[in-house]
Amino acid sequence: MADIFDQASDYEAKDREAAISAAAGRATWSGSSPDIIDGVPCCAECGEPLPEARLKALPGVGLCVECAE
């Protein structure tokens, strides 16, 4: 009986990771990559520098929060 619960728990964890990964992929790429201006990653739409915290949370993000919304 414990094996069934272990398997269900494993499936749930894999589904959760896949959902998180998919959501992060949508948020990360948003159809563009960052522009690099003078070595600084900037929003591909407005050109403003991307905050360090955003780059750490979503590596490769191409849009600032305002433009992504």
Per-residue pLDDT tens over the stretch 22-68: 666 555 444 467 788 888 899 988 999 999 999 888 888 889 999 88
Rg over alpha carbons for the chain, rounded to the nearest Å, is: 17
Distance CA 9, CA 41 (A): 40
Residue 22: predicted pLDDT: 64
Q: Check: CB of residue 42 under 8 Å from CB of residue 22.
A: no
Give me the numbers of helices (H) and strands (E) for the chain, helices first please. Answer: 3, 2
pTM > 0.85: yes or no: no
Give CA 36 to chain center in angstroms: 19
Distance CA 5, CA 24 (A): 28
